[in-house]
Amino acid sequence: MQQATNTGDRHGWITTEVVKTRFGDFAFENGYPTREAADALLDQLVFNRAIEVYLTQIPPVAIIETRRGLREFGARSANQVVVWESLMDSQTLLLTANTETVYALGFLDLNGDGPTVVEAPPHMFGNANDTLQRFLVDIGPLGPDKGQGGKYLFLPPGHQGSVPDGYFVVRSPTYSVLFGVRGFLVNNSTDQAVSLMKQIKVYPLAQASDPPAMEYLNGSGQPIDTIHSDTITFFEQLAQLVEEEPGDVFTPLERAHMKSIGIEKGKPFAPDERQLALLAEAAHAAAAIARANTFASRDPEVPYYADRQWEGIGDTPYTFMRDGVLMVDRRAWVYYMALGNDPAMMAKNVGVGSQYLWTYRDADGNFLDGAKTYRLRVLPQIPINNFWSIVVYDAISRSELQNGKPFPSISQYTNPTVNADGSVDIWFGPELPAGQERNWIRTVPGRGWFPIFRFYGPLEPFYDKTWKLNDIERVNG
């Protein structure tokens, strides 16, 4: 007896029809896709996977591109460290760096050099991240040296050898490690911080008795470019990283997604002409999504204040894990415009460390426009133990805005004019408002921009929000 076939509407099965979607219409006959439909749908699957790969792998690609930029500048080995001796100016393209602290950055190659020692000077603030931009260790007051300096020994993945005494031992799950330290101005001078940074020593443990000479490269005023791309280059850099690092640093699902677009450890990334066109389109679309996710997030936890446009980290875990769930979109929201991971950056530390607020919009909710004029009135009694600053960034590069001046910023160090009630007006626009020479940051027509307001040594009123940062108000234009 022939069994009846259940073709009821309850299942919504695809039969002979044209399936209409936002990314195209696809013909089916008797439940089967036509050849054209199958090809288009499978291409769409690769396209979707490529977008997910882009959004999930922003942190490691940002790290590998930073390494590329430093290598192109001349820091090609671990004993070569870049120091921005006259502060980080707008010639350097580095994700949302500040203009008030002295930076030093370097990379370790634990595959080529093996266990590597970093001798950190005292009174520095810094950390080290692995290639996936995951926190490894603090350097300085929040680290094991407690601000007194000391020797950090970085061990490569799977290291089985003996570990000598006398070191702060850091086991890295990746071979490439980014380390950086910051120093503060003293009497408005970088001299002391630079002098301390030039005491940094980096060498393979095997050469501890006769370490190679250090080389400190001055990055100030130099066109260093460390920013990852919105193009197929993103996937090319990721493929390089996958080849360099242990396979298990990525989850099985991440490896599956990467394999589906041609990125697999042990095999060359060599898409044919058709695949290349598809991935190039996907990379640009993914970058567009990343920009929307960062600049126009729908995440209800992104606003720092319920009634303002300012955004902040809030209680985001530095691991981006909550209740066993990886906060993928939150992580992409941060790392498309920022570099570096440290628990201290995302923790409440009253009176020490730093906290940041940023906004892409004015008080009316419109994106900030380089052709228009705005004012920010900063209320008196800013809740800080140390100092405050505001730096303006280019929405395209997410680096310091290149506006014809080296430092697109205002801070306590620049001595802005203070109003009679203790408030400070900060002006943004393409033309100087009359009498506001010390309180104006030039913007550039045709370029979107955004500010980051930094609180160094934030006090309790910052955290409990009894003191609030006003929105930026459009004045004219």
Confirm if 376 and 439 have CB atoms less than 8 A apart: no
pLDDT higher than threshold 70 for residue 319: yes
pLDDT higher than threshold 90 for residue 348: no
Provide mean pLDDT across the span 364-371. 98
Say how far apart CA 402 and CA 393 lie, in whole Å: 8
Provide mean pLDDT across the span 119-124. 94
Q: What length does the chain have?
A: 477
pLDDT > 70 fraction of the chain, expressed in percent and rounded: 98
Determine the distance from the C-alpha atom of residue 417 to the mean position of all C-alpha atoms in its chain, rounded to a whole number. 32
Specify the higher pLDDT residue, 3 or 284: 284
Q: Say what the pTM is.
A: 0.94
Provide mean pLDDT across the span 102-130. 96
Give the model confidence (pLDDT) of 457-472 as tens digits: 999 999 999 999 999 9
Query: What is the CA angle 135-62-303, rounded to 5?
Result: 75
> Average pLDDT over the chain, rounded to whole?
95
**Band of pLDDT at residue 350, cut at 50, 70 and 90:** confident
Look up residue 233 and give its DSSP letter: H
pLDDT higher than threshold 80 for residue 4: no
As a whole number of Å, the end-to-end CA separation of the chain is 81
Confirm if 238 and 265 have CB atoms less than 8 A apart: no
pLDDT at position 8: 53
Determine the distance from the C-alpha atom of residue 306 to the mean position of all C-alpha atoms in its chain, rounded to a whole number. 25
Say how far apart CA 35 and CA 418 lie, in whole Å: 71
**Band of pLDDT at residue 383, cut at 50, 70 and 90:** very high
Confirm if 80 and 201 have CB atoms less than 8 A apart: no
By C-alpha distance, which of 69, 107, 60, 36 is closest to 258?
60
By C-alpha distance, which of 358, 376, 350, 349 is closest to 313?
358
pLDDT higher than threshold 70 for residue 306: yes
- DSSP secondary structure of 105-124: EEEEEHHHH-SEEEEEPTT-
**Band of pLDDT at residue 474, cut at 50, 70 and 90:** very high
pLDDT at position 393: 98
Say how far apart CA 314 and CA 304 lie, in whole Å: 7
- Phi (first) and psi of residue 138, to 5 degrees: -85, 150
Confirm if 368 and 476 have CB atoms less than 8 A apart: no
By C-alpha distance, which of 427, 421, 360 is closest to 393?
360
**Band of pLDDT at residue 477, cut at 50, 70 and 90:** low
pLDDT at position 343: 87
pLDDT at position 1: 42
Confirm if 208 and 119 have CB atoms less than 8 A apart: no
Q: Is 324 exposed, middle or buried (0-12, 13-18, 19+ CB in 10 A)?
A: exposed
Say how far apart CA 305 and CA 315 lie, in whole Å: 13
Q: Per DSSP, what are the bridge partners of residue 55?
A: none
pLDDT at position 90: 97
pLDDT higher than threshold 50 for residue 2: no
The upper half-sphere exposure of residue 177, i.e. CA atoms within 13 Å in the direction of its Cβ, equals 33
Provide mean pLDDT across the span 256-261. 98
pLDDT higher than threshold 90 for residue 6: no
pLDDT at position 374: 98
Give the model confidence (pLDDT) of 171-201 as tens digits: 999 999 999 999 989 988 999 999 999 999 9
Q: Side by side, which strands form the sheet with 373-378?
A: 440-442, 424-429, 373-378, 473-476
The dihedral built from the CA positions of residue 217, 221, 227 and 233, taken in this order, carries a sign that is: negative
Give the model confidence (pLDDT) of 7-65 as tens digits: 557 788 999 999 999 999 999 999 999 999 999 999 999 999 999 999 999 999 999 99
